Amino acid sequence: MSTEDKRKLICPSHHHLSIHKQCKIIELPHSSYYFKSKGVSTLKQQLMNAIDRKFLDCPFYGVKRMTVHLCKDLGYFVGEKRIRRLYKLMNLRTIYPKKNLSRSNKADYKFPYLLRNLKIERINQVWQADITYIPMFRGFMYMFAIIDVYSRKIMGWGVSNTMNAEWCRDIMLETIEKHGKPDIFNTDQGSQFTSSIFVRALQDAEVQISMDGKGRAIDNIYIERFWGSLKREKIYLNPPNAGMDLYQKVNAYVTFYNTIRRHDSLDDETPDTVYYAKKAS
């Protein structure tokens, strides 16, 4: 049976079996289920790609400043209302240099930030996770990734045309199944991570949950740096054509990032070298 035929067998609304379990039963990699990119108009894609590039360098740019940049610097004729919608679609959250005093959105669960003044001295002590927008030749997709803070190793990842909580939970559980659980799992306050689906899965695994302060993505800096490396060194240079092309490009880059790319912060070692050396000790 082809991958496409298997994909047609999945029932997202099944009452007893999650997408993750259904994929296991029919031996379909769960990532394959989410491979169709979202098509968008040419102008919309141009705006999203321009926003993504600028936001990578200026994560403190809110909707107003981004709109000014697009109009004054790049020559677009767009309003703040449209850019605000694109920020939401792209899952962008502005980093504020000072404490953000805006009213927080209602969420299922919220947890304190546990990493302040914490000395991270071993693998699997702290994992950080996030979702980012990935531009493509036509359309876009989302990527979810988990990084081990001590070693900078990408522990698990996936690409999808949606960014729902179940998708994030499934990747998180697969990563724990493969590598064991971390002491602390840190995310921002995105709706996927504050949902009961995601939170309860971590609680069932007896993992401590840490969440950044709203508008302080700098607290999740290690995964943010990975996004910058991935986009500058791979995605922007050769935008993927389709979902499978994106998967192959990301898979190749994650392998490169973990096994070949040396990091100054690791004394010029690779994440895999640090992770497995620590695991063996």
Query: Which CATH number goes with the domain that contains 177?
Result: 3.30.420.10
Report pLDDT digits (tens) over 44-83.
889 999 999 998 888 889 999 999 999 999 999 999 999 9
The total number of structural domains that make up the chain: 2
pLDDT of residue 130: 95
- The Cα 163–Cα 131 span in angstroms is 8
For 263, which DSSP code? Answer: B
Q: Give residue 39's pLDDT.
A: 60
Residue 1 neighbours by CB distance under 10 Å: 10
Taking the whole predicted model, whether its pTM rises above 0.85 is answered as: no
Low-confidence ranges of the chain (pLDDT < 70): 1-17, 19-20, 25-40, 95-107, 213-219
Residue 188 lies in a domain: yes
Q: Are residues 13 and 138 in the same domain?
A: no
Pairwise CA distance, residues 130 & 248, whole Å: 20
What is the structure's pLDDT at 8? 52
CB-facing half-sphere around the CA of 152: CA atoms within 13 A: 26
pLDDT of residue 98: 46
Please give the residue range of the domain that contains residue 197: 126-280
Backbone angles phi, psi at 87, to 5 degrees: -60, -45
Cβ–Cβ < 8 Å for 134, 222: no
Buried b (16+ CB within 10 A) or exposed e, 188-210: bbbebbbbebbbebbeeeebebb
- Residue 17, domain member (yes or no): yes
